């Protein structure tokens, strides 16, 4: 009689908000300022506490970041590089979590900037990775949402459309389950500061820009030319 044993299902990855900010900042700087990467503890703190491209805004100190790094190193999500007088750190997110590059980019942006529509993610990813179109972004998001339990379960969730919003937003699940109602109310409160019409105009403009970029890319491909900014 032969006994077969199945491998245990991996536990879902759950990060604290500080750990998520630390690793996402490392992911961002690796792509946007490669000459300054890996990052020292002080540089990482400055990146985590940026006022731009961050939601929510945080004011972390070196002790909080060092504690997060220690935990992330234990999970093989962050590595300390050798050499030099100052310790520097780099991420190992894609391999540590086991996702494709494009999926890692989307998760990093969601950790840094909070819930976003697929069109917003494509625009915000420009300096990280150039997605061909919005549908390709949605394809990777769908895969992350349908991730099997054998791989650790879903990593993103598609939120209900907020009142007055034109599109649904996506949120990451790397810090555990999210309160969809609270996120939706947060979107409404931020929108009220701009005014409903202003928000709709911004979203419409973002969609138009995404379509124009897609059209330009197709025309350049037909003419055998490089898209603007890629010469």
Assess if residue 1 is contained within a domain: no
The pLDDT > 90 percentage for the chain reads 66
Q: How many alpha carbons fall within 13 Å on the CB side of residue 3?
A: 1
Q: Which of 67, 96, 125 is the last residue in one of the domains?
A: 96
CATH no. for residue 170?
A: 1.10.10.10
- Tell me the CA distances in angstroms from 164 to 170, 193, 203, one per residue in order: 16, 13, 11
Q: Which of 180, 205, 221 is the last residue in one of the domains?
A: 180
Q: What residues make up the domain containing 71?
A: 17-96
| 84 and 120 inside one domain | no
Residue 54 CA to residue 111 CA, distance in Å, equals 9
Query: Mean pLDDT, to the nearest integer, of 140-144?
Result: 98
Domain total of the chain: 2
The residue assigned the tokens 């992330």 is 72
Q: How many alpha carbons fall within 13 Å on the CB side of residue 14?
A: 6
Give 80 or 220, the one with higher predicted confidence.
80
Burial per residue of 65-88, b for 16 or more beta-carbon CB atoms within 10 angstroms, e otherwise: beebbeebeeeebbbeeeeeeeeb
| 145 and 91 inside one domain | no
Is the separation of the CB atoms in 115 and 106 below 8 Å?
no
| 60 and 30 inside one domain | yes
- Tell me the CA distances in angstroms from 187 to 105, 135, 142, 180, 191, one per residue in order: 23, 23, 22, 11, 6
Q: pLDDT category, 191, cuts 50, 70, 90?
A: very low
User: Which pLDDT score is estimated for 185?
Assistant: 60
Residue 202 has pLDDT above 80, yes or no: no
Query: Mean pLDDT, to the nearest integer, of 63-75?
Result: 98
Residue 142 has pLDDT above 90, yes or no: yes
| 79 and 123 inside one domain | no
């Amino acid at each position: 009689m032969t006994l077969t044993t199945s491998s245990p299902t991996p536990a879902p990855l759950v990060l604290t908000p500080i750990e998520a900010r630390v690793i996402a900042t490392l992911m961002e700087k690796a792509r946007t300022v490669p000459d300054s990467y890996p990052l020292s503890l002080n540089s990482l703190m400055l990146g985590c506490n940026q006022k731009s491209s961050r939601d929510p805004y945080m004011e972390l100190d070196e002790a909080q970041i060092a504690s997060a790094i220690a935990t992330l190193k234990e999970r093989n999500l962050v590595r300390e590089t050798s050499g030099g007088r100052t310790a520097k750190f780099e991420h190992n997110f894609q391999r540590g979590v086991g996702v494709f590059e494009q999926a890692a980019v989307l998760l990093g942006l969601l950790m840094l900037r909070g819930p976003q529509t697929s069109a917003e993610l494509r625009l915000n990813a420009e300096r990280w990775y150039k997605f061909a179109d919005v549908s390709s972004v949605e394809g990777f998001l769908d895969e992350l949402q349908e991730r099997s339990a054998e791989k650790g379960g879903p990593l993103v969730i598609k939120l209900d459309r907020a009142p007055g919003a034109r599109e649904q937003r996506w949120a990451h699940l790397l810090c555990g389950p999210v309160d969809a109602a609270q996120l939706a109310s947060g979107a409404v409160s931020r929108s009220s500061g701009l005014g409903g019409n202003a928000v709709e105009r911004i979203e419409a403009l973002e969609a138009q820009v995404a379509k124009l970029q897609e059209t330009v890319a197709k025309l350049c491909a037909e003419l055998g030319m490089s898209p603007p900014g890629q010469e």
